Structure 1
Amino acid sequence: MPSTAYSSTPPTITPASREGDANYKAPIFPLGPFTKYSGNPLLVPNPVNEFESAYIYNAAAIVLDDTVFLLYRAQNAAKVSTIGLAWSSDGYEFTRLDRPILEPSEPWEMGGGVEDPRIVRIDGVFYMTYTAWDLKVPKLCLATSTDLVHWEKRGGPLFPDFIDVDDALDGRIKVRFGHSKSGAIFPEKTADGKFMMIFGEAILCVAESKDLINWKAWPFDEYFARGVHEWENRLLEPGPTPIKTRDGRWILVYNVATKGASGFHFNQYSISQMLIDLENLRDGPLARLDRPSVVVSAKNEHLGQVNEVVFCEGMVQFKGKWFIYYGQGDSELGVATAEVQP
């Protein structure tokens, strides 16, 4: 059964809280195979709580003090998005905070709200990228915290002047102005002292920063990766914070959609992985999977607020397993797990 417990008092998190699993093992590319949890969905809407009365999905994840924390996208009946908080001692049964931790407050957030968080922790500070949605143009934004509950929004949209191109479902190529979404920040600096971010909603793009607050996007035509398989020929979006491998490279879990491919429906979403060299992002991915890690199969993934969707923004290693938390049909939240490699 989905988790239904609530609390008005979350666990205490401070800059001294230990991050990561106590027995963490760095991975080998690729992770998997992943198996969907038989108890999905983990989280479903609750009409008693207005902010999450309609839909719950797309959660960032992090392990702190032997607890899995989720920052999930919640929508009310008006489809205004906020970010909620949940925590678990086993990765499956969650207690939810009875109120949002991030709500729309800025002009560029009004109408649609704040959605689709990704989280990284660096030097005791949490950095959350999220999308502001004013019902016109989505804009990638940033907030910071030291306790997961109280967040400071760090200025306006990160890339207000960014120009990209969308290969739309109807076959038209659209130039988009100020459109930005989905930012996954690497938790380590490059050799020349820069923090890097993979972002984007059509093609994977790159941004860099010296201080994690002020970001400069590379031009769209200097993109990092685009679809090469039929099942990713519609769009690519980064998923969670990249994970460092045993040999010093990085695994990026990413989301894809297709215009149609053998075994895949029109506009079907899947979750895949690629291997990255952080020091040579201009060279593109080192490798990517031939088939996705997680595909649509459950009823609530085939049919939902948006049909044919599995979508991941949170992944953690916890108690000997990798947990991929993913939205099901843009309506509910599920999980798939894989054994940690020996």
Structure 2
Amino acid sequence: MKNRILPLLFWGLVAIFLFNSCASKSVQKATEESSQMEYDWMIGPFVKRLDINPCLKPDKNAKFFDPIRKKEVHWQNVNAYNPAAIVKDGKVYLLFRAEDDLGKYNGTSRIGLAISEDGYNFVCEPEPVIYPDNDEFKSVEWEGGCEDPRVIESREGKYYIYYTSYEGTTALLCCAVSDDLKQWKKYGPIFRKALNGKYANLWSKSGAVVCKQEGEHFYPVKIREKYWMYWGESNIYAATSDDLINWEPVEYLADGTDLNRSRRIVDDQIPENATDDQKVLMPVITPRTDDYDGYLCEPGPQALLTDDGIVLIYNGKGDNPDRDGIFYAGGQLLLDPQNPIHVIMRTTKPFIWPTESYDIWRWSPNKKSGNCFLENLVYFKGKYIMYYGAADHEVAVAEVQ
């Protein structure tokens, strides 16, 4: 018996050593990736939870009666990704984009809800909470769907979600409001009433509202008597609002004046006699050639008003460091709290990017291209947790330790 036990004990110890060694290397890999913090005003460093990820996967068995198709569909059998998140009643509520495989656009998107008591293990509600329906907004949501949400809460206990509608031609940034994160009232495209409808049909996505943290809550804050939002895909723009539902894009006078100077002027007023053709969208940032955000820039989680200024985490699409693929990676901006269109500093390298197998696009021919698409940040049980869309397929999590 002793002769049998000793070899088993020996090989058991070897297995434990090898496991711990691999785990240590994985943690070291994640830590090295996320330790790339250029400036002390940045939020981070973030470490991917390799032991947890992906924390949410598509559910091929989830069914839902589609009110437009008038039949039962497997509403998240292809993808479950690009999440918003918020803390409510001591739990994390995850609002994620789910896709089926029906229709002419290779699937309709809907927004599902998953809830977690620890921030890592989620239980999904059986049906989506926001989806195309036979309502007044069907014309802008069907049949591409409802995509890529961000969510905030007000001090009055209202929840505001900003999501993208897509009818097959134009993406429009929309708003809905809820008291419980389950039942939502849609208000439609957020720019449809602004400036006599000038930007009502403008391609628009990804609304990140400026908020201030109070404990586990992030409340929208007014700056110069307005709420502020960063939005856009390619360039990042700004918009202001009085009610968090209807927003007006920030413009400037395109008269040949240096754009950087226009951004720095706090009270730069457009003359009343300026024509609509002279007034154009004010870009806060634009892509940088041959950089990690060389193809496009897109807002990520809610922007945070901090002691250093407004910090905006954003998504950049560009070449990966090895120049053998493309990826979505995360950057950060520091903006002037007295003038939210003025960029004080901008990261020159990403602080998070695709590194793990679940970050890599399934269709990537060289397995070097993928994405970490950042959408919402929570403060839960004493730490910042950021949820992101991994490879346009699943949800993964990174946290500040």
Alpha-carbon separation, structure 2, partners of 1:189 and 1:95: 32
What is the one-letter code of the residue matched to 1:46? Answer: D
Whether 2:234 is the aligned partner of 1:202: answer yes
Whether 2:179 is the aligned partner of 1:146: answer yes
Contact 1:57 1:330 in 2 (8 A): yes
Alpha-carbon separation, structure 2, partners of 1:331 and 1:29: 31
Residue of structure 2 in register with 1:23 after alignment: none
Deviations 1:256-277 (A, max 9, x none): 101x354354431101222222
Q: Relative to structure 1, is the Cα distance of residues 265 and 110 closer, same or farther in structure 2, using a 3 angstrom cutoff? A: farther
Match of 1:71 among 95, 107, 112: 95
**Bigger proportion of residues as helix:** 2
Contact 1:67 1:89 in 2 (8 A): yes
Contact 1:182 1:238 in 2 (8 A): yes
Contact 1:190 1:279 in 2 (8 A): no
Residue of structure 1 in register with 2:375 after alignment: 313
Contact 2:312 2:332 in 1 (8 A): yes
How many angstroms does 1:191 deviate by? 4.2
Match of 2:43 among 31, 39, 44: 31
Residue of structure 1 in register with 2:341 after alignment: 282
Contact 1:190 1:278 in 2 (8 A): no
Contact 1:118 1:241 in 2 (8 A): yes
Whether 2:142 is the aligned partner of 1:110: answer yes
Secondary structure of the structure 1 residue equivalent to 2:387: strand
Whether 2:282 is the aligned partner of 1:222: answer yes
How many angstroms does 1:213 deviate by? 1.8
How many angstroms does 1:241 deviate by? 1.0
Whether 2:280 is the aligned partner of 1:267: answer no
Residue of structure 2 in register with 1:43 after alignment: 56
Alpha-carbon separation, structure 1, partners of 2:223 and 2:377: 26
Alpha-carbon separation, structure 1, partners of 2:118 and 2:351: 23
Contact 1:236 1:255 in 2 (8 A): yes
Deviations 1:195-223 (A, max 9, x none): 11100001110111112122111235411
How many angstroms does 1:61 deviate by? 0.8
Q: Map of 1:247-262 to 2, 5 A cutoff? A: 247=307, 249-258=309-318, 260=319, 262=321
* Identity in percent: 33
Residue of structure 1 in register with 2:86 after alignment: 62
Residue of structure 2 in register with 1:185 after alignment: 209
Deviations 1:116-144 (A, max 9, x none): 00011113111111000111111111111
Residue of structure 1 in register with 2:297 after alignment: 236
Contact 1:304 1:330 in 2 (8 A): no
Alpha-carbon separation, structure 1, partners of 2:230 and 2:101: 32
How many angstroms does 1:158 deviate by? 2.6
Residue of structure 1 in register with 2:361 after alignment: 303
Q: Relative to structure 1, is the Cα distance of residues 156 and 204 closer, same or farther in structure 2, using a 3 angstrom cutoff? A: closer
Whether 2:116 is the aligned partner of 1:81: answer no
Secondary structure of the structure 2 residue equivalent to 1:154: strand
How many angstroms does 1:338 deviate by? 1.2
Question: What is the TM-score normalised by the length of structure 1?
Answer: 0.81
Secondary structure of the structure 1 residue equivalent to 2:370: coil
Structure 1 residue ranges without an equivalent (≥5): 1-27, 164-176
Q: Map of 1:123-142 to 2, 5 A cutoff? A: 123=155, 124-142=157-175
Secondary structure of the structure 2 residue equivalent to 1:103: coil
Alpha-carbon separation, structure 2, partners of 1:35 and 1:282: 30
How many angstroms does 1:320 deviate by? 2.5
Which is greater in Rg? 2
Deviations 1:169-192 (A, max 9, x none): xxxxxxxx6211111112344343
Contact 2:57 2:395 in 1 (8 A): yes
Aligned residues: 296
Alpha-carbon separation, structure 1, partners of 2:345 and 2:151: 24
What is the one-letter code of the residue matched to 2:124? Answer: R
Secondary structure of the structure 2 residue equivalent to 1:107: helix
Contact 1:43 1:334 in 2 (8 A): yes
Alpha-carbon separation, structure 2, partners of 1:334 and 1:265: 24
Alpha-carbon separation, structure 1, partners of 2:191 and 2:162: 9
Contact 1:142 1:158 in 2 (8 A): no
Deviations 1:220-242 (A, max 9, x none): 54111123471111111101111
What is the one-letter code of the residue matched to 1:148? Answer: L
The answer to which of 225-234 and 310-319 deviates more is 225-234
Question: What is the TM-score normalised by the length of structure 2?
Answer: 0.70
Alpha-carbon separation, structure 2, partners of 1:131 and 1:192: 27
The answer to which of 191-200 and 149-158 deviates more is 149-158
How many angstroms does 1:157 deviate by? 5.2
Residue of structure 1 in register with 2:399 after alignment: 337
Secondary structure of the structure 2 residue equivalent to 1:30: coil
Alpha-carbon separation, structure 2, partners of 1:158 and 1:267: 32
Q: Relative to structure 1, is the Cα distance of residues 265 and 129 closer, same or farther in structure 2, using a 3 angstrom cutoff? A: farther
Secondary structure of the structure 1 residue equivalent to 2:140: helix
